[in-house]
Structure 1
Amino acid sequence: MSLINVSNLTFAYEGSYDNIFENVSFQIDTDWKLGFTGRNGRGKTTFMNLLLGKYEYGGTISADVGFEYFPFPVENKEDMTLNVIEDVYPDYVHWELMRELSWLQVSEDVLYRPFASLSNGEQTKVLLAALFLKENSFLLIDEPTNHLDMEGRQLVSDYLNTKKGFILVSHDRAFLDNCVDHILSINKTNIDIQKGNFSDWWENKQRQDNYELAENEKLRKDIKRLSDAAKRTSNWSDAVEKTKNGTTNSGSKLDKGYVGHKAAKMMKRSKSIEQRQHSAIDEKSKLLKNIESFENLKISQLAYHKSRLAELENITISYGDKTVCRDISFTIDQGERIALSGKNGSGKSSIIKLICGEPIEYTGQYRPGSQLKISYVSQGTSHLQGNLTDFAREHDLDESLFKAILRKLDFARVQFEKDISAYSEGQKKKVLIARSLCDRAHLHIWDEPLNFIDVISRMQIEELLLEYAPTLLFVEHDREFCENISTKVVEL
């Protein structure tokens, strides 16, 4: 056991006026299994790059271990997988490698195939196995779940549960709950570490948020009471001041000395109350510093003229000699939220392409409803570029509504001025979801919409779908999201 000490860490990117971290201090035990959480753009990947020594920073980071980053960058993916592993760790012992691969249910033959020929899930497992072989290393594991199907996620989560000494960035709640014993969270104003899994942390956070909200409500009422009192006192003082040179109602002359003394006393009392009011406002500003905005999202889907939107009957899709799915039949009816489920490569994206009208070779019957309007969220984000105003105009969106949705998904206004290509992967995915929520469509089709998206935003999207019950066909490997959202599961 040893400690990683972070002391007074301060960092901002070159050319930026805003610090991502400011005087942050904490300690990490190298035996811990840390889940790393925080909303998109808060600096999770940046912090891991600071641990790796990639940027200059203020403060100190000291550790008796070396840091290794996942995913390991593979220069030439055409190399044999065994050669890639040797690049990761030249001194590996073969039987130890085979032990790790067996725990991850990866067969030995993958070692003698080009790395590029492995599925994304197999690549993830091979690199994790190689990195965990390295002694005296603390692993920084950045979103390993994005290329894993539900079964693969369970397997990797079980594997990580047997390990120690890592920071894991993942937004999959069930995945985190199964394999971490501490949570490292980047909040609005600080970095916090708590013992327990994600559910423990979330329960504690909600309890703290509710306490702060209750304190804020009491303070708000107190401020209103003080404000009203200060206003009354000020009016009283002004009224007395005005009578200094006047007369009483009976017409007799006023004692100016007495009235002046009384006015001064009222002014002093008014100032005292005003100072108390400002003190209360200052106190208020210290509260709610880490409460995350969790505003409700909205979707206004077009009503379709029939209850059934589309029907697939005995659909088989092949690419050359390879059949990716066979004899798939299901219907899409209004109000259904259909989860397309199956292992990677089982044809989920091909089915989506067919329904979206892309040219694809298939047999069987696909019967879409007439004039059916579809809003589609793709897996990939690499095509996104330009500013948000141009993006809204290009996709015929209500710009103010589009940006309002992004604000609710924790976009700072400063992000609106940046090029979309400079966004984090999670922020790019939010752009696609916000666009889809603005679309006037009968059917929404989302292909792995939650990749890279933070947990709180996932919960917002869940609440939206449960409240408005739009017709939705989706592929998603987040088990908890699927269980909460789907009304029907189509297994491929």
Structure 2
Amino acid sequence: MSLINVRNLSFAHEGSYDSIFENVSFQIDTDWKLGFTGRNGRGKTTFLNLLLGKYEYDGTISANVGFEYFPFPVADTEQNTIDVVGDIYPDYQHWELMRELSLLNVEEDVLYRPFESLSNGEQTKVLLAALFLKENRFLLIDEPTNHLDMEARQLVSEYLRAKSGYILVSHDRSFLDNCVDHILSINRTNIDIQRGNFSDWWANKERQDNYELAENDKLKKDIKRLSEAAQRTSRWSDEVEKSKNGTRNSGSKIDKGYVGHKAAKMMKRSKSIEQRQQTAIDEKSRLLKNIEQGDSLKIAQLPYHKQQLVELDRVSIDYGGRTVCQDISFTIEKGDRIALSGKNGSGKSSLIKLICGEPISYTGTFRVGSQLKISYVSQDTSHLHGDLKDFARQHGIDESLFKAILRKLDFARVQFEKDIASFSGGQKKKVLLAKSLCEPAHLHIWDEPLNFIDVISRMQIEELLLEHEPTILFVEHDREFCANIATKHVRL
């Protein structure tokens, strides 16, 4: 066991006026299994890069271990997988590699196939196995679940549960709950570490948020009461001061010294109340700093003239010279929230393309309602570039509504001036989701919409779908999201 000490860490990207970290201090035990969470764009990957020494920063980071980052870059994907592992860790023992692959349910034959021929899930597992071959390293595992289906996520979480000494960036609540013992969270104003899994951390956060909101309400009432009292006392003081130049009803002259003393006393009391009011304001300003604004979202689907929108009866799809799915039968009716699941390569994306109207070779019966409007969110965000204003214009959506939705998904206004290509993976996916929420449609089809999306935004999207009950077909490997949202399941 050793410690990683972070002291007075401050960092801002070159040319930026906004600090990502400011005077942050904490300690990490290298035996911990840390889940790393926080809203998109808060600096999770930046912090990992600071640990790796990629950026200059103020403050100190001291550690007696080296750091290793996942995923590894693979320069030549055409070479055999065993050579890729050798490039990552030349001194590995073959039996140790086979032990790790066995724990991840990967067959030995994948080592003798070109790396590019492996599925995304197989590639992830092989690179994880290579990562855990290294000794005396603290591992920085950045979003390993994005290319894993639900079964693979469960397997990898069990694998990580048996390991230790890592920071794991993931937004999958069930995944984190199963394999971490501490949570490292980037909040709005600080970095915090708590013992326990994600559910423990979230329960603590909700308790703290509710306490601060209750205290905030009390302080607002105190400030209002003190403000009114200060105004009354100030008015009395002014009236008494004015009376120094008047006369009593009896016609005798006023004792100006007495009146002046009384006015001064009232003024002093007024100042005292103002000081108490300012103290209350200062106390209030310390509250609510880390409360995340999970503002509610809206979706306005167009009404459709029929109950049934889509029908598939014994549909089989051929893609790339092979049958990717066979004898698929289901219907999409108004109000359905259908989770489409299956292992990677089972034909989910091909089926979605067919429903969206792309030219796909198929057999069986396939019917789509006349004049059906579909809003589609793709897995891929690599094509996104340019500014948000042009993006909204290109897609025929209302720019003000589009940006308002992004604000609710925790976009800072400064982001609106940047090129979309510079956004984080989660921010890019939010651009596609916000676009979809702006589009008039009868049916929403979302293909892995939550990849890279932070936990709080996931909860916002859950609330949206549960409140407005749109008709939606989605592919998503987040177990908790599917359990909360789906009214039907179609497994390929």
Q: Which of the five TM-score ranges fits, normalised by the shorter chain?
A: over 0.9
Alignment of 1:134-153 (within 5 A): 134-153=134-153
The structural deviation recorded for 1:252 is: 6.1
In the alignment, which residue of structure 2 is the partner of 1:277? 277
Shift of 1:321: 2.7
* Aligned counterparts of 1:165 and 1:258: Cα–Cα separation in 2: 76
What whole-Å deviation, never above 9, does each CA across 1:30-84 have from its counterpart, x for those lacking one? 1111100011011100010011111111111111111111100001111110110
Matched with 1:384 is 384
- Report the counterpart of residue 410 of structure 1 in structure 2: 410
Deviation at 1:236, TM superposition (A): 2.1
Alpha-carbon shift at residue 180 of structure 1 (Å): 0.7
Q: Deviations over 1:231-250 (max 9, x none)?
A: 22222223333333345567
CA displacement at 1:251 relative to structure 2: 6.6
Q: Deviations over 1:297-316 (max 9, x none)?
A: 11111111111111112211
Answering whether residue 339 of structure 2 is matched by residue 339 of structure 1, we say yes
Structure 2 equivalent of residue 422 of structure 1 = 422
**Is the counterpart of residue 85 in structure 1 residue 82 in structure 2?**
no
Residues 21-32 of structure 1 correspond to what in structure 2 (within 5 A)?
A: 21-32=21-32
Alpha-carbon distance in 2 for matches of 1:303, 1:355 = 19
Q: How far apart, in 2, do the equivalents of 1:295 and 1:250 lie?
A: 66
Distance in 2, Cα, partners of 1:78 & 1:324: 24
Describe the SS at the equivalent of 1:6: strand
- Structure 1 residue 479: Cα displacement: 0.4
Q: Residue 438 of structure 1: CA displacement? A: 1.3
Whole-Å separation in 2 of the counterparts to 1:254 and 1:321:
108
Give secondary structure in 2 for the equivalent of 1:133: coil
Give the TM-score normalised by structure 1: 0.98
Distance 2:334 2:244 in 1: 76
Name the aligned partner's letter for residue 233 of structure 2: T
What secondary structure sits across from 1:392 in the alignment? helix
**How far does the alpha carbon of each residue in 1:248-279 deviate from its partner, in whole angstroms, 9 at most, with x for none?**
56776544333333222222211221111111
Structural mapping, 1:240-389, within 5 Å: 240-247=240-247, 254-389=254-389
Residue 239 of structure 2 corresponds to 239
Matched with 2:33 is: 33
Q: Distance in 1 between matches of 2:65 and 2:437?
A: 46
- Kindly provide the amino acid, as one letter, of the partner of residue 453 in structure 2: I
1:456 corresponds to which residue?
456
- Could you tell me how far apart the structure 2 residues matched to 1:170 and 1:59 are? 27
Separation in 2, partners of 1:230, 1:110 = 77
SS class of match (2:271): helix
Secondary structure of the 1:477 match is coil
Name the structure 1 match of 2:447.
Answer: 447
Deviation at 1:26, TM superposition (A): 1.1
**Quick one: structure 1 residues 429 and 249, their matched pair in 2 at CA, closer, same or farther if it must change by over 3 Å?**
farther
- Return the letter of the residue paired with 2:441: A
Report the CA distance shift for 1:105/1:227 in structure 2 as closer, same or farther (over 3 A).
same
Matches within 5 A, 1:460-475: 460-475=460-475
1:445 and 1:251 map into 2 onto residues whose CA distance is 88
1:162-195 deviation line (CA, Å, top 9, x unaligned) = 1111110000000011111111111111111111
Query: What is the Cα-based RMSD across aligned positions, in Å?
Result: 1.3
d(CA) in 1 for partners of 2:369, 2:71: 43
Superposed CA offset, 1:363-421 (max 9, x none): 12221111111111110111111112222222222222221211111111111111111
C-alpha separation in 2, matches of 1:30 and 1:360: 51
* Equivalent residue number for residue 203 of structure 1: 203
Q: What SS does the corresponding residue of 1:27 show, helix, strand or coil?
A: strand
Unaligned runs of 5+ in 2: none
Q: Cα–Cα, structure 1 residues 377 and 250, in superposed 2: closer, same or farther, change >3 Å?
A: farther
Distance apart, 1:10 and its partner CA:
1.1
3-state DSSP class of the match of 1:134?
coil
Alignment correspondent of 2:110: 110
Q: Is the 8 A contact 2:237 2:263 kept in 1?
A: yes
SS at match of 1:306: coil
Output the amino acid matched with 2:466: L
Q: Structure 1: how far apart are the matches of 2:248 and 2:445?
A: 79
Determine the structure 1 residue equivalent to 2:192: 192
d(CA) in 2 for partners of 1:250 and 1:292? 65
Question: What is the CA–CA distance in structure 1 between the aligned matches of 2:433 and 2:250, rounded to whole Å?
Answer: 74
Figure out how many residues of one structure are paired with residues of the other and give that number: 492
3-state SS of 2:216 partner: helix
2:97 is matched with 97
Contact 2:319 2:360 in 1 (8 A): no
Cα–Cα, structure 1 residues 325 and 231, in superposed 2: closer, same or farther, change >3 Å? same
Matches of 1:239 and 1:116, distance apart in 2: 86
Q: Distance in 2 between matches of 1:26 and 1:76?
A: 39
Match of 1:123 in 2: 123
Q: What SS does the corresponding residue of 1:480 show, helix, strand or coil? A: helix
Residue type matched to 1:422 in 2? S
Q: Percent identity?
A: 81
CA distance in 1, matches of 2:392, 2:49: 33
Q: CA offsets, 1:116-165, max 9 Å, x none?
A: 00000000000100110111111100000000000110111111111111
User: What is the CA distance between 1:90 and its match in structure 2?
Assistant: 0.3
Letter in 1 for 2:288: L
Match of 2:212 in 1: 212
